[in-house]
Structure 1
Amino acid sequence: MNKKFYQLESQKQMDIINAGIEYFARFEYKKASTEDIAKSAGISKSLLFYYFKNKETYFAFLYNYAEELIVSKVFRIDLSNKTDFFEELEIVIENKCIFFAENPYLIDFLAKVRNSDQQFVQNIINLDTVNLAEDTIKKYFSNIELKKFKEDIKPEQIIEMLILLLDGYLSNRLKLNEKVELDDIMGKYKRWAKVLKQSVYKEEFL
């Protein structure tokens, strides 16, 4: 990405970011027109590719931006008084659903990303899933009581599993052309978490 993008006024940066997220949320990667995106952002297509080398670079930038934005907003809550992994995770998921409700294009964009058949997109996701799970544990779940977990069970594994379950849910919704409902996500998380807790916690902590 061209560093000159960050020299733009903040509002123009957001115009370019928001236009991309909206169009990639509404259309598949292949069908999203960079011509239309640029027009929506109030710039030319050539200028868009001046700031971003190509469509792939722009898309990857938007994905990373979206993930970083979610982390910065969702994890601003204070979890220092919580020590149970699943209690903390439920608070985080609830906060995430509230954030998505306020930013509807983001969840559609990420759903499209997760369901993309583009190899470069899948490479980004596969790496991000592992890194996200590890970083989340280190930064936001450092105070959890690890003694509750069965031997050889790591919290990172649970987060990775929940991410994969959510990916499957989003993929199925998109294939059926059904809207992603945040209340439904929360309900499914609680059911998944209940099953996982039974599987990974020692009996005395259930």
Structure 2
Amino acid sequence: MAQGQNKPVRSRDEQIDSMASDWNAVGMGRDLALGWAATMVSEAEARGAAEQRRKDAEGQEVAWWQFQNNNGEWCNTVAPKWYHERGFKTRPLYAHAPNVAALEARIAELEAENGHLRSRYLPENLTDPLREVLGRMCFECITIARALRTDGMEIRNRAEDEQAAVIFFLLPFVLAHGSDWRKHAAEEIGGMAERHRAALTREGGV
């Protein structure tokens, strides 16, 4: 028996919670992490449904072929190879395709859910708080980058790497708290300083 075959299958909510916990552990807000995790799971489900639709068609006898003419119309043909060799798109059609209707409906549901999640957690418009963080200049990132390094984040000693790390750190606060992002980011940075001082105290450094 293959290793892992008897592993319990996690529910959808358990998968989302596990992914969100990983992101939460590295500083992302809980609500934002849950939203992004739900989006990723929904996208994976949509890909799985599309793949299942393809598998459903495997092993079935082709009923007839079609090619796409220069007007974009699909036409029946008994010579698909001839059209394919001349650059036309061709496709097989099957006598029946189990579960296609149900899968099409599920894919539509998942795409709608993805759109809802993206609109909720990823704004369609560039807000002022987002513009402020995404447009942060390199020299504005030095102090926060130093705090991030002190807290354990590995950042290369280049201005553009410091800038990228700081924007990556600040972005979840903007998405979770909007115009109030500075307060929450400052609290987290203050917590980093407290942790660093506590570590030095334990080691006898201060």
Verify same fold: TM over 0.5.
no
TM-score norm. by structure 1 comes to 0.28
Higher Cα Rg: structure 1 or 2? 2
Higher relative contact order (CA 8 A, sep 6+): 1
The structure with more helix, counted as a fraction of residues: 1
The structure with more strand, counted as a fraction of residues: 2
TM-score norm. by structure 2 comes to 0.28
